[in-house]
Structure 1
Amino acid sequence: MLDDLDRRILRHLQADPEQSLPDLGDRLGLTASRLSRRLEKLREGGVILGQRAVIDWRALGYEVEVSLRITLDKTNSRAFDEFIPAAREIPEVLEIQTFLGQVDVRLSVIARDMAHYQGIYRSQILTLPHITDIEALMHVARIKSDEALPI
């Protein structure tokens, strides 16, 4: 279980993940060594999964994002097991989600432009195994994208 101090640490990390340990310790009233022990405990407990760089793919020349809702052939017991690894191999697929219901999988795909997307779609997406239906949704705007949790 998390105590109040753990929650305070997590709130401060979410607000400013690049702050140094001494600065974070000062804000929390902790020594850097005590803070390090707490952070290690949170990592070992699986609360903090790691740190990562968030890169704006638009800054790298990608302008198009498409969400593909895919229905798989559910009569084939290996459909998911064969589709998911194949989809992971496509570099422009940023996210893969699975669902229960009419739609089985959602892929988030980026491309430099529509011609690039069309090439990815024809040469890589359509060759994925066990697809019975695809619906493409062109992203227009991202209204909210927040990974911060209400701690």
Structure 2
Amino acid sequence: MLDDVDRRILRQMQAAPELANAELAARCDLTSATCYRRIEKMQASGVLGGQQAVIDWQALGYAVEVSLRITLDKTQTRAFDDFIEAAREVRHVIEIQTFLGRVDVRLSVIARDMSHYQQIYREQILSLPHIADIEALMHVARIKQSEGLPL
């Protein structure tokens, strides 16, 4: 389990992920060595899965995001596995989620514009295996997005 010091480290990492270990340690009132050991311990236990760059895809010229709710043909025993394996290969799919219920899978697809989206949809999405139904939702605005946890 995490103690108060671990939570303090995680809060600071969430607030300022770019901090070097020495600055993070100072903000947490720890020595650099102690801070480093605690981070290593949290990585080893799976609490921290690593660090990554957050890239603003809109700044790179992608202006369209579409959420596709997909129902699979569940009469096929490998429907989920085959679909997910193929969907992972579509470069413009930035997120894949699975669900219990009427909708089986949700894909987030980005494109430069609507013409580009239509090309991706026709050439890559519709060729994915075992699709029984697709519902497209055009993304209008992201009101809240946070990876941070209430620590």
Q: Return the alpha-carbon distance in structure 2 between the equivalents of residues 126 and 10 of structure 1.
A: 42
Q: Which amino acid aligns with 2:23?
A: D
- Give SS of 1:137's match: strand
Percent identity between the aligned chains? 70
The amino acid of 2:84's aligned partner reads: I
CA distance in 1, matches of 2:143, 2:36: 36
Unaligned runs of 5+ in 2: none
Deviation at 1:65, TM superposition (A): 0.1
Cα distance in structure 2, aligned partners of 1:26 and 1:96: 38
Deviations 1:66-121 (A, max 9, x none): 00000000111110111001000000000000001100000000000000000000
The structural deviation recorded for 1:21 is 1.0
Give the TM-score normalised by structure 2. 0.99
| Alpha-carbon offset, residue 50 of structure 1 | 0.4
Q: Considering only aligned residues, what root-mean-square deviation do their CA atoms show, in Å? A: 0.6
How far, CA to CA, are the matches of 1:2 and 1:78 in structure 2? 39
Give the whole-Å Cα distance in 2 for the aligned partners of 1:25 and 1:87.
41
Please give the alpha-carbon distance, in whole angstroms, between the structure 1 residues aligned to 2:126 and 2:29.
Answer: 56
> Counterpart of 2:130?
130
What SS is found at the alignment partner of 1:80?
A: helix
TM-score, with length taken from structure 1:
0.99
Distance between the aligned counterparts of 2:17 and 2:7, measured in 1? 14
Name the structure 1 match of 2:114: 114
Residue of structure 2 in register with 1:73 after alignment: 73
Distance in 1 between the 2:27 and 2:113 partners?
Answer: 45
Aligned to 1:59: 59
Is 1:44 matched up with 2:44?
A: yes
What one-letter code is carried by the residue in structure 1 that aligns with 2:19? Q
Shift of 1:43: 0.4
Residue 127 of structure 2 aligns to which amino acid in structure 1? Answer: T
Runs of 4+ in 1 over 2 A off after TM superposition: none
Distance 1:9 1:52 in 2: 17
1:1-16, aligned counterparts within 5 Å? Answer: 1-16=1-16
Q: Distance in 1 between matches of 2:49 and 2:17?
A: 13
Q: 1:82 matched to which residue of 2?
A: 82
CA distance in 1, matches of 2:51, 2:63: 26
**SS at 2:13's partner residue?**
helix
Measured after TM superposition, the shift of residue 27 of structure 1 is: 1.4
Aligned residues: 151
